[in-house]
Amino acid sequence: MAAKGLSRAKEVCSQRPAVAKGATARGKKVIGYPCVYVPLELLAALDIVPYRLYGEMREPVTEADRVLPASFCPIMRSCLDCALKGRHDFLDGVITIHSSDPQEKTARIWQSYTTLPYFHFVDMPGTTRPEAVDYFASQLKGLVTTLESLSGKKLSADNITKAINAYNHQRSLVQSLFELTRPSPPLLTGTEIVQVIKAVMSLPVDEGNQLLTEVIEEAKARKQKSEAQRARLLLWGSTTDDAEVMAVLESNANVVFLEDCGGYRPYRGKVSTAGDALTALARHYLTEITCARTFIQNVAAPTKKDYHKDLHARYGYLKSVITDWKVDGVVLLLVRYCDPFAFEVPAVKDYFASLGVPATYIEYDYTEGSLAPMRTRVEAFLETIG
Amino acid sequence: MSTGEKKRVINRVKAMYPLRAKVDESYLRSQEAIKAGKPTVWAMLNFCYGDPILKAMDIEVVYPENYGAALAAAGVARGYLDRADAEGFPTHLCGYSRANFGYAARLMELGGEPPPEAPMGGMPKPLFLLSSVAVCDARYKWFQALGRYLDVPVWTLEAPLPGIREFQLEGCYEEMVKLSVSHLRDFVTFVEKAVGRKMDWDRLDEIVNLMMEINRVSHEVNELRKAKPCPMHSRDFWSAMPPALFLLGDLKESLQLYKNLYDEVAERVENGISAIPEEKYRLVFAELPPWHSLDLFDRLAERGWNFVIESFGYHPPPPVDLSHVKDPLERIARYSLQRMVANYRDALQKNVVAGADVYIYLKYVSEWKCDGAFLHPLVSCRSASTHLPHLANILMERLKVPSLIVEGDIVDLRLFNPQDALQRTEPFEEAMEHYRRVRRELGFDW
């Protein structure tokens, strides 16, 4: 019997390339993407399967050393290393996006040292101003042009609407998934969620939605355990792509909310189906994904500034998470050299302090060797919050 | 820094000195202007994008990036870096930003008065902050993070940067212009509200024209440096560049000073005068120099190393005729975009897709006839370092030119060892000699 729900998620995670190759064997084009800012709706509407590219913590970086300095985002170094070792050769192409310096700079190297038939770099503005949204929409139009050429199909209004609806459904399902971490103890662990999200990002949208539906049903059917109360943590950071990292955080606590790109962040809100689809996608991706890379203007005071209002404009969406998920503490978990998030650390700590929630900053270098010190840091933090 | 004796070997261009003096003059003038109640802004280097607008609005501008370098050169950065560490900023962040966080924390601790230990009178509290998304994430995340210390607004300038191939897609360039012009128009409104005055559009028009003309002359000076022997060393370029790059002081005066520079360098070319006593090797330098250890270049000059071209980001864009563009904001936008766009077209022709900052060094090395590249990756500045390994590969692959890679940092002196760099010169000279022979065998003309 074929695996379902959480077993299926685990299976997909352990065989991601094989799953993608299956789609290739069925005659589908498969396109890799290393960042959640790539609007997957455009791929789905042209019957292209998106495949999230991750680094590999257990793989020593060797090939990327030739082309990138050591003091650079270790996730993107690892991702490129996998590409240079031919691990992504089954792909029909790669889409990268200007979501951060490492993404943009790795894209150039990637394009220079690999020979995939398709490569597209999408430029992305730094602000959310109206002219920035328009420019981003024009960049998405360019992406459509090259994707149409790759797929041999034209993007129809009907297909893009269907794709937006399918991904909006996926957003709703992930939001429902996180409802299951609200109870105490939660019905799903953070470790399980990392695996589910990773599996979903490796599958065509309908299969991902099916998997999410199964996981939600399975978790809801779980009996509420009566176990000793464990601390409830919020994880804030760039991305978590390895279940073992989450297992370290959860050895004596529950991570009930993952505010990162391996968790809730890519699934916040919904794309509007009214008006021009490219503008709607541009607006959604630019404004709803709460990555530190985007400059948020403090609209409350355009020519003066109040630090606390500014913090609220930048992180206000986290206030209800803290209360609704009954968060006891926050772990700010970053890989070394993740500049956009690293600049945020003192400010986001100030914000959590204003809400009365303790927070700690932990940095790691995306190697297995960093897990033991991470465990020590987490244990020390848990002791301080009792 | 210690590289032994302090003997000056580089034959400095005399017309450079008045241009270099404009930096100190500019700090002094800012201090006086601020005392007189004139608004001051902290800005990132914005590649002639926001500066002409600030200048037309008669706003004093100081650049924390430059001030970070000044703190390092004065040997006082350490205390500010330590303060930034104590404030909770991760230690791997941009050294300039960390020095600035420490400075801002001290500034606010002193009620907005510049710290007494700050060199050149320090940077006064600004009216607003002008950041830019160009070049790196740090240059806007840094100013956003300053909100912890400064209760002033931040404007972030957009800087579109499509891929080299994607730039060829229909309408891409015009969309870049549209974004830039619309964005600048909103920025003007923002500045008008901040200072409580309206823009003088005629003045802006004149400033934009002067800016383009200053940069055109500066570009022509660098073209003269293709001569053998090279008449002007990179140190003179770095010393002379600030008035063009930051629009310092009176622009008509700057224009005359750059014309004087051009005349002197042209005269040197005519008379075969070199920037160093005996030019044995011609080198390109990438990217940011070790500001705190510049006499290293005198020691290298003693060995016959002439640095003939350098630091792409500091160079003016290739000249472009925009006389048909009436709107000064559109002229600013098109001129600023020219820095990338001109190189994109060339890069695609040469099938270099790794970005303008890689392509341009191929151009430099082949047109300025360089024997070697001195690459200076910086531990805390990823934007000036990330492309360097690929650059070393492509210079060797395409032009058979070797690279010497010497690590350092923009602020933290402990991370740069000039003695180590000097010890590596002899083997590198052997490599440059070897590849000179290889190039000749392959039919290159240098």
Chosen for mutation from A73, A96, A105, A310 (greatest number of chain B CBs closer than 10 Å) is A105
When CB atoms are compared, the residue of A69, A131, A304 closest to B153 is A304
CB contacts under 8 A, A 70-99 vs B, are 71-72, 98
CB contacts under 8 A, A 266-295 vs B, are 292-293, 295
Structural domain including A80 reads 21-153
Contact A125 B158 (CB under 8 A): yes
- The mean pLDDT of A239-250, rounded to a whole number, is 95
- Helices (runs of H) and strands (runs of E) counted in chain B: 17, 8
- How near does any CA of chain B get to the CA of A243, in Å? 25
Residues from chain B contacting residue A75 (CB–CB below 8 Å): none
B124 falls within a domain: yes
A350 CB within 8 Å of a chain B CB: yes
Q: How far apart are CA A306 and CA A308, in angstroms?
A: 6
CATH number of the domain within which A64 lies? 3.40.50.11890
Contact A131 B385 (CB under 8 A): no
Q: How far apart are CA A297 and CA A306, in angstroms?
A: 12
Helix spans in chain A (H): 5-14, 16-25, 40-45, 74-84, 101-113, 130-151, 157-179, 190-200, 205-220, 243-249, 277-288, 307-315, 317-324, 339-342, 345-354, 371-385
Residue-wise pLDDT for A101-114, tens only, equals 999 999 999 999 99
pLDDT of residue A299: 58
B7 falls within a domain: no
Residue length, chain B? 446
B147 CB within 8 Å of a chain A CB: yes
Contact A132 B179 (CB under 8 A): yes
B217 falls within a domain: yes
Name the maximum alpha-carbon separation found in chain A. Answer: 63
A124 falls within a domain: yes
pLDDT of residue A301: 53
A253 falls within a domain: no
Buried-exposed string B207-222: b where 16+ CB fall within 10 A, e elsewhere: bbbbbbbbbbbbbbbb
Contact A127 B156 (CB under 8 A): yes
Name residues whose C-beta falls within 8 Å of residue A349's C-beta, 6 or more positions apart in sequence: A332, A359, A361, B88
Tokens standing for B123? 């940077």
A313 falls within a domain: no
Q: Which residue of B has its CA nearest to A109?
A: B354
A277 falls within a domain: no
pLDDT of residue A381: 98
Q: Total structural domains in chain A?
A: 1
B89 CB within 8 Å of a chain A CB: yes
Tokens standing for A246? 């989450």
Contact B137 A293 (CB under 8 A): yes
Q: Give me the percent of chain A exceeding a pLDDT of 90.
A: 93
A63 CB within 8 Å of a chain B CB: no
* A264 to A9, A33, A196: CA distances (angstroms): 17, 18, 12
Q: How far apart are CA A171 and CA A173, in angstroms?
A: 5
**ipTM of this complex:** 0.95
B314 falls within a domain: yes
B352 falls within a domain: yes
Q: Within chain B, which residues score under 70 in pLDDT?
A: 1-6
pLDDT of residue B2: 46
- A121 phi and psi, to 5 degrees? -110, 125
Structural domain including B207 reads 16-442
A185 falls within a domain: no
The DSSP line for A290-346 is --TTSBPP-TT-SSS--HHHHHHHHHTHHHHHHHHTT--EEEEEEETT-HHHHTTHH
Contact A303 B163 (CB under 8 A): no
Name residues whose C-beta falls within 8 Å of residue B109's C-beta, 6 or more positions apart in sequence: none
pLDDT of residue B36: 87
Q: Total structural domains in chain B?
A: 1
Chosen for mutation from B179, B197, B395 (greatest number of chain A CBs closer than 10 Å) is B179
When CB atoms are compared, the residue of A100, A129, A363 closest to B90 is A363
Confidence of residue A238 (pLDDT cuts 50, 70, 90): very high
Contact B88 A100 (CB under 8 A): no
Tokens standing for B101? 């966080």
Residues from chain A contacting residue B394 (CB–CB below 8 Å): 112
A184 falls within a domain: no
């993952």: which residue's tokens? A258
Q: Which helix (H) or strand (E) holds B52?
A: helix B51-56
B2 falls within a domain: no
Contact A361 B88 (CB under 8 A): yes
A142 CB within 8 Å of a chain B CB: yes
Query: A118-122 and A93-97: which strand pairing?
Result: parallel
A40 contacts A167 by C-beta, under 8 angstroms: yes
Name residues whose C-beta falls within 8 Å of residue B53's C-beta, 6 or more positions apart in sequence: B184, B187, B188, B191, B199, B204, B332
Residues from chain A contacting residue B88 (CB–CB below 8 Å): 345-346, 349, 361
- A147 phi and psi, to 5 degrees? -70, -40
